Structure 1
């Protein structure tokens, strides 16, 4: 796999990326909706309708019909795994709270999970599409940085407080500063969510979004993402960012080395084996203990792992739904481990289906050879993003808009397993195309 080459042939003046005119309007609307403050949500009975939920609800039937009809390519094992995961979660809700719970909580979960996946699956079908999406997300993060940086320095949460003053809403949670700085919320419910969203933009910006930008503007783009992730002051976001940077460095220093990614995978497995042999704790506990800001949070996360896995052992098939999990009396109900939350709430089958969808894309995309440079860069961006997020998700929970963005990103990688339909000059990047029936707006 090769990353883009950044040499003196890049223009000193900025150029409008060719990908910029390829972005589907629904994708742009979704990205904007995902970063709208929670104060923009409205209540409809027991349901909270945020802007991204409204958009996903509106496009749910059209997107599913488009995918099931085969217009986005033949149905595959990834589609099946995501559908089975979503259905299993609805069943788990029904087992916990009956038909009403399945309809309300299960229904909105299905929309957020499969609906967000379907957005990426339908509209991201080529390297141009992926580059355009990556650039749009990166630019949105740059916009958030303009608010988050002064917020971190002044300890005033400008955007959230402005919306709260205009439309009302509960007071922001009080979160202790770190390193003398306030933890930036941006437009999100919690600094963790803000940091995770910003960090997920890095690898795609590095490998895909910089195509067509001058060297200066490319570095400005990725530098802004790094700074935005930093001011969240979240260990999970920093871990995600660090992993993506490490993969980018590995790609650069090992370029031309045969089997370099297999070597990296073998080294990772080797580290796990060594840790298992030398430590009296499991590798996951060792990882959790070091992926925290303090000894207290490390201890708490290990307790979450112990009590959470015990809960999975008691309810392995359908989980406990929204029920309370057994834990020490002084522990919060918050569970800072996305994968553990999935297993505890919905059972091991739900976790297996979701993990299978990701692994199917990773292994099938990684096995493809002799693809254009733009395609390999998109593959690198997607795998780096999903791998870093999946690892960091062992220490943070992905909920609401970050969960939808994660599922959307999974859908954005589905095109990577498609076989080339026709040869095309590499500079044109037009391959693996599927007719869109007029879904795109703007010049092509």
Structure 2
């Protein structure tokens, strides 16, 4: 990728970094985000296969995305391999443990891997990312407005309307602390709340003005409150705490090393002191003590059954013994659910894929000067992935939120690729400037700046 020098003396990268977003990138952003926030109950059947709006969007965009991803100037990164390994293991484990449910395992792969590929292909570079965030603003406003409508009417409006049109059972209103729990366009309040946290984390860093941050992030927090769900509310508090920590210590590049070190030390203390450290952590991630007790019992039961089939899990079949209440109860954790269905390797690959999408992509002062916006967005989507992983301890993701997770990993992977490409371009520029001077023994050349 050769650098070029514009007239005003500032070095910019050519090739993939310099390509503007096309109308296809904007269309992909709108299609994927609308599909992610359209009720998954709006299914259609084609040749016996079930297609949710999200799966339809992936099928429409997958082949153009592959063409875009493998064009000249793009590079594969480690998270690409790990997401593919996660998907391959899910399919292989399903064929091994529960071959009759292969289509269910394949559907999960279509949603997550497909969302990842679409994001890696179409949301690369600043113009494409800005198009994605612009679409996210619109769909977030609509989703929160529908949740507010449910509180005003005290009815589950959107889902029950879709259920009536599709001939599905309707949901009755669900209350916690005297407040209705909003569903909006999602199949459960906890998924709607998770969406609000993800959007809020993005808007905290994407908005350039204080009024914009207050408006969009405050709206997302309001939407999160309407869900009345423990994990999203706690996750939002973590997002705000990390943001203010980042703002307070933004001049110090070691701030993230300090935060990670302190977090590791705290977890080490919990694991050293508590008899059941994982159960202790899970029990303190809920607002309702009875919910915490139920989840602790669920985790203890899940650990037992995972130990009986640690490599390939049980597929989509029931795994609990007859009469074992917690062995047959719903498992409210994406990590436990995936381990029970597809084995421990599946969650190891998934965790590593998330980490690989942001690991060692932190910027230096020079990178912040090159493009502060892209620097902020790397922080934002790193925080988004941390939210998905943390909230997943007490939340199981399915349908549109599962697909959104794959999209966010893909966006962060594209930011990673963009950062690495910019770093390579900067090295090439420095070598290009210094080589003639060193060869002639003239020292370092001086770049001519903007005319005055």
TM-score by length of 2: 0.82
Cα displacement (A) at 1:59? 2.3
Change (3 A) 1:93 1:65: farther
Q: Aligned to 1:370, what secondary structure does the other structure show?
A: helix
Alignment of 1:28-427 (within 5 A): 28-44=30-46, 47-67=49-69, 69-71=70-72, 73-98=74-99, 101-102=101-102, 104-172=103-171, 174=172, 176-208=174-206, 210-211=207-208, 214-282=209-277, 284-326=278-320, 329-331=324-326, 332-366=328-362, 370-371=366-367, 372-418=371-417, 419=420, 420=422, 422=425
Change (3 A) 1:324 1:181: same
RMSD: 2.4
In 2: Cα distance, 1:390 partner to 1:290 partner: 16
Gaps of 5+ in 2: 1-19, 427-452
Change (3 A) 1:45 1:307: farther
Change (3 A) 1:231 1:143: same
Which one is further off, 362-371 or 109-118? Answer: 362-371
Which one is further off, 364-373 or 180-189? Answer: 364-373
Residue equivalent to 1:435: none
8 A contact 1:31–1:137 mirrored in 2: yes
In 2: Cα distance, 1:113 partner to 1:302 partner: 28
8 A contact 2:65–2:122 mirrored in 1: no
Q: Aligned to 1:122, what secondary structure does the other structure show?
A: helix
Cα displacement (A) at 1:75? 2.2
In 1: Cα distance, 2:68 partner to 2:403 partner: 20
CA deviations on 1:362-419 (whole Å, 9 max, x unpaired) are 2131266631211210111011111122111101101111000000100001122222
In 2: Cα distance, 1:321 partner to 1:118 partner: 25
Moved over 4 A (4+): 18-23
In 1: Cα distance, 2:40 partner to 2:257 partner: 43
Change (3 A) 1:93 1:249: same
8 A contact 1:153–1:182 mirrored in 2: no
8 A contact 2:78–2:357 mirrored in 1: no
In 1: Cα distance, 2:239 partner to 2:254 partner: 19
CA deviations on 1:219-253 (whole Å, 9 max, x unpaired) are 21111111111101111211221111111111112
8 A contact 2:200–2:216 mirrored in 1: no
In 2: Cα distance, 1:45 partner to 1:233 partner: 40
| Structure (1/2) with the larger helix percentage | 2
Change (3 A) 1:234 1:380: same
Structure whose alpha-carbon radius of gyration is higher: 2
Which one is further off, 181-190 or 142-151? Answer: 142-151
Residue equivalent to 1:427: none
In 1: Cα distance, 2:295 partner to 2:359 partner: 31
In 1: Cα distance, 2:130 partner to 2:325 partner: 47
In 1: Cα distance, 2:93 partner to 2:197 partner: 31
Residue equivalent to 1:13: none
Cα displacement (A) at 1:278? 3.0
Q: Aligned to 1:64, what secondary structure does the other structure show?
A: helix
Which one is further off, 106-115 or 57-66? Answer: 57-66
Cα displacement (A) at 1:86? 0.5
CA deviations on 1:257-304 (whole Å, 9 max, x unpaired) are 34111111111111112223332221x222211111222211111112
Cα displacement (A) at 1:42? 2.1
CA deviations on 1:108-148 (whole Å, 9 max, x unpaired) are 22211211100110011113322332332233111122121
Change (3 A) 1:234 1:277: same
What number of residue pairs does the alignment pair up? 398
Change (3 A) 1:72 1:368: farther
Q: Aligned to 1:363, what secondary structure does the other structure show?
A: coil
Q: Aligned to 2:58, what secondary structure does the other structure show?
A: helix
Residue equivalent to 1:432: none
Q: Aligned to 2:50, what secondary structure does the other structure show?
A: strand
8 A contact 2:189–2:228 mirrored in 1: yes
